[in-house]
Structure 1
Amino acid sequence: MSRSGVAVAPDCITAFEDLKLKKTHKYIIYKLSANKTTIEIDKSGSEEDYDAFLTQLPENDCRYAIYDFAYKTDEGAPRNKICFYAWSPDDAPIRSKMVSSSSKDALRRALNGVAIEIQGTDFAEVSHETVEEKCKKGR
């Protein structure tokens, strides 16, 4: 449970383990339940196109997401890193941003195996190039 009192639904962790170990998903998007007491799965997908994943993030509400990000090292070797996204767009309601921010750690701690954490307030901060750069740096 987070400092905001928000709990993580068990299927959130199960879906993450399936993404990590079985590669059944390319991404998972999480949201706060309507009553703001639980983090639950919003949607998941196996679509390989990164831009298609980005279209699933709402322009005016907060979400968390996991994406199995594929990239090439500077030497050209293929790599994957599991990235955690804290999506909090500027146009999201203030209450949503506050609860999302104070609940993030509960979900983040429950997902073992995340390599990179991405904070996004607009689509430029989660662009393929930006995330690829963070993956190459390892932060």
Structure 2
Amino acid sequence: MSSGLSVNEDVVLEHKKLKEGKINYLLCKVADDSSAIVVDRSGNAGYYEFRDLLPGAAPRFALYNYEVTADAAKTTKTVLFVWQPEGAPAKAEQMYAAALPYFSAALDGIAIKLQVGDPSDLDQQSVESRLRFNR
């Protein structure tokens, strides 16, 4: 992976929409030519709909604005899911591991990063408990 890997400007613009609450999820991928991290898709979806958007055999960086209720107060936390599903090509896994620092450095306001590789890792109860633990 080149040390010149960049985060596409569209990722930054969509992340701004996420922070403003205009969208609640953002899926990003490494471009086919491995030159940049680009937007795969973004929009609004319930948690389970969002989870179902993750591709079965391809890694992604997935940001989701997760609502957490604690002490009768609702708060929204941005979760970065580093999706590396079982069976993904080794080269793709290495590419995403190398791209993660660039992606993380370009975006602020991420409450927690979760490395996930199986749909069971995305169980809503598990995610919520990890968010509460990291308050």
Bin for the TM-score computed over the shorter chain: over 0.9
Percent of paired sites with the same residue:
26
Distance in 1 between the 2:23 and 2:129 partners? 23
Distance in 1 between the 2:133 and 2:95 partners? 30
The correspondence of residues 39-58 of structure 1 with structure 2, limited to 5 A, is 39-47=37-45, 49-58=46-55
Q: What secondary structure does 2:81 align onto?
A: strand
Distance in 2 between the 1:135 and 1:86 partners? 15
Distance in 2 between the 1:135 and 1:33 partners? 30
Gap runs ≥5 in structure 1: none
Distance in 2 between the 1:50 and 1:131 partners? 11
**How far does residue 77 in structure 1 lie from its aligned partner after superposition?**
2.0
Q: How many residues align?
A: 135
Q: Which residue of 2 aligns with 1:19?
A: 18
**How far does residue 6 in structure 1 lie from its aligned partner after superposition?**
2.0
Q: Which amino acid aligns with 2:32?
A: A
The correspondence of residues 33-112 of structure 1 with structure 2, limited to 5 A, is 33-47=31-45, 49-73=46-70, 75-112=71-108
Q: What secondary structure does 2:80 align onto?
A: strand
Q: TM-score, normalised to structure 1's length? A: 0.91
Distance in 1 between the 2:29 and 2:115 partners? 15
Gap runs ≥5 in structure 2: none
Q: Which amino acid aligns with 1:9?
A: N
Distance in 1 between the 2:23 and 2:95 partners? 27
Q: What secondary structure does 1:130 align onto?
A: helix
Instruction: Indicate conservation of the 8 Å contact 1:71/1:79, yes or no.
Output: yes
Distance in 2 between the 1:91 and 1:57 partners? 14
